[in-house]
Amino acid sequence: MTFKNILILGSAAVALAIMFVLSVLAGNSYGYITALLSLILIGIPALCIRKEFIVLPWPILLAIGLSLCLHNVGLVADLYMTTSWDILTHFISGITVASIVSMMLIMVIVSSKKTKVPMAWIPSLILVSVLALEGTWEILEFTIDTIMGTGMQHGLSDTMKDIVVNTLSGIVAGLGFTYYMSKASLQELVENMKVERLVEWSRRTFSD
């Protein structure tokens, strides 16, 4: 694990741990549960890097850490009461999801001899993936509000705003990553991600 990766993931973990403690002290059950889940999530790429299962590029690690930290800061400081914070977190999370989907597509394009992904399809695939996660997130928000009595959803207009913001982030990221993939050395990128074990596992698991 490079120093840059350690710095990004470590800083995010420390920030999330602080927000966990603050939420516990404030008696904010939703806040500390979210912080705890975020700590688990930030540990997944760290574990993958340690095991050399997949090494995500540092900008994507930064996007993951930033998305989780901004969401938790919003809960701790009640910033979700402002429209701008909600827009910011949804836009950045949309870019983050699009980044991860793009890396998966790049791995398929480079590693698979059978599966072909036309470049023209990539923006649509990224957008659909972002919207699918957004739909899942809105269902999760509704479920948590119903069970825990929180106020994550503020009505139909709030939900539609979130969907529109994620749609915009998916479009921007889809076009941006398509351009990047048309210019960059995808083979070199995949080699740097050290996905050999992941590719071999997927071939053993999903091959005919």
pLDDT tens figures, 111-155 = 777 777 777 888 888 888 888 888 888 888 788 878 877 766 677
Q: What are phi and psi of 54, to 5 degrees?
A: -165, 135
Per-residue model confidence (pLDDT) at position 207: 60
Chain-wide mean pLDDT for the chain? Answer: 85
Candidates 64, 68, 123, 75; CA nearest to 97 is 64
Per-residue model confidence (pLDDT) at position 182: 78
Residues 6+ positions from 114 with CB-CB distance below 8 Å:
none
- Collect contacts of 81-85 with beta carbons under 8 A, ≥24 apart: 83/161
CA distance 94 to 80: 17
Handedness of CA 10, 15, 16, 17 (dihedral sign): positive
CA distance 52 to 14: 23
CA distance 106 to 98: 12
CA angle 154-138-146, nearest 5°? 65
Write out the two tokens for 29. 């059950």
Decide: helix, strand or coil at residue 83.
Answer: helix
Write out the two tokens for 110. 């480079």
Which residue positions in the chain have pLDDT lower than 50? none
Per-residue model confidence (pLDDT) at position 142: 83
